[in-house]
Structure 1
Amino acid sequence: MNEFTLDPTLYDGRPSDCSSRSAAEAACYDFLDGLGVPYRRADHSETPSIEACAAVEALLGAEICKNLFLCNRQKTQFYLLLMPGNKPFHTKDLTGQLGCSRLSFAGEEPMHELLGVTPGSVSVLGLLNDTENRVRLVIDRDVLQPEFFACHPCRNTSSLRIATADLTGRILPALRHEPDYVSL
């Protein structure tokens, strides 16, 4: 496994040249810029887990949100859960509040099909690709408490810090995914 590397520079906005970035990542920058949402960016090598994000969080000055892509047993209902990265996930706590059957991780194929991302790159910004609203957005209320929200731009080699007020007031309405709020 390659050693994790982090560019110590915090950038304002998109990269000056997106030609080496994925189309999904570039679409995130286009979306945010089109809404006029300011953001700061940290570039780094792949962050395959929330634990690998600690140095990125220190640079950003914001906690990177844990994003779990879940489904029901029949794989007919899909959920994107946003929760604090340091909070443990217990399925029964979520299903009880949503009133649904036991949920499990959805897997790579539906993740790519519905969100256009690969494992490790799941983000609320992936909902840009869910134009048919097949994914139900669920947000732990604790995610909304800090001043800033951090996530990947659909690729886990960059992380963005966005004002939480912009997430709730501009980004979520533009994504057209009305969230369900839970307390985990």
Structure 2
Amino acid sequence: MDIMARLASWQIRPKLIEHPPLHRCDDADRLLVDRPGTRLKNLFLRDNYGRRHALLLTRPDKQVDLKVLSRRLGWSRLGFASPARLRRYLGVDPGHVSVLALVNDMEQEVELWLDEELREGDDFHCHPLRNTATVLLSRADLLRFAGYTGHRIQWLAVPER
């Protein structure tokens, strides 16, 4: 899928920055990739039974306490979803995850969670379904994107270890 064409069809035209592959948040630090805006860490999570899935966006340096978060939300033990689940639900491989992958979740099986700490952020850094580029998605465009894909944003106070 050409995600940029899909975004443009929704009147979302974010800036696209090409760069070497970035598999993890700290890869950008090592390569001294400097971009304006709000960097994100994207965690694809599942409950203990593999029946519920969520994409959590938080700041890159945050060590999320999944045990406390799962208790707060009433989910059975939260854990990281496997690469196979990532491909099945979001259509991307590890290292390519971003909120834009929700375009592949046509059944809205994945919940979208945003850390409260990101509320004031703007120009969110998102992989456009590949890790060799970054899209700078404004807060308004992020909200509009979620609406077009049918995903409701849940703002959470994400606990830190």
Q: 3-state SS of the aligned residue for 1:132?
A: coil
Equivalent-residue separation in structure 2 for 1:162 and 1:136 (angstroms): 19
Q: 3-state SS of the aligned residue for 1:122?
A: coil
Give the structure-2-normalised TM-score.
0.90
Give 1:1-12 correspondences, 5 Å limit: none
Q: After superposition, what is the alpha-carbon deviation per residue over 1:24-63, rounded to whole angstroms, capped at 9, x for unaligned? A: xx2x11221111113111111211111112333x2x2023
Higher gyration radius (CA): 1
Runs of 5+ unmatched residues, structure 2: none
Q: Determine which of 131, 137, 140 is the counterpart of 1:156.
A: 131
- 1:175 alignment counterpart: 149
Q: Which runs of 4+ in 1 moved over 6 A?
A: none
Give 1:8-157 correspondences, 5 Å limit: 23=1, 26=2, 28-54=3-29, 55-56=32-33, 58=34, 60-157=35-132
Q: CA deviation at 1:147?
A: 2.6
Equivalent-residue separation in structure 2 for 1:72 and 1:158 (angstroms): 30
- Tell me how large the CA RMSD over aligned residues is: 1.4
Q: Compared with structure 1, are the counterparts of its residues 163 and 68 closer, same or farther at alpha carbon in structure 2 (3 Å cutoff)?
A: same
Q: After superposition, what is the alpha-carbon deviation per residue over 1:99-133, rounded to whole angstroms, capped at 9, x for unaligned? A: 21211110100100110000011111111111111
Q: Which amino acid aligns with 1:95?
A: S
Q: 3-state SS of the aligned residue for 2:88?
A: helix
Higher relative contact order (CA 8 A, sep 6+): 2
Equivalent-residue separation in structure 2 for 1:99 and 1:72 (angstroms): 10
Q: How many residues align?
A: 156
Runs of 5+ unmatched residues, structure 1: 1-22
Q: 3-state SS of the aligned residue for 1:180?
A: strand
Give the structure-1-normalised TM-score.
0.79
Equivalent-residue separation in structure 1 for 2:140 and 2:80 (angstroms): 29
Q: Which amino acid aligns with 1:178?
A: R
Q: CA deviation at 1:92?
A: 2.3
Q: 3-state SS of the aligned residue for 2:75?
A: coil
Equivalent-residue separation in structure 1 for 2:152 and 2:72 (angstroms): 16
Equivalent-residue separation in structure 1 for 2:67 and 2:39 (angstroms): 24
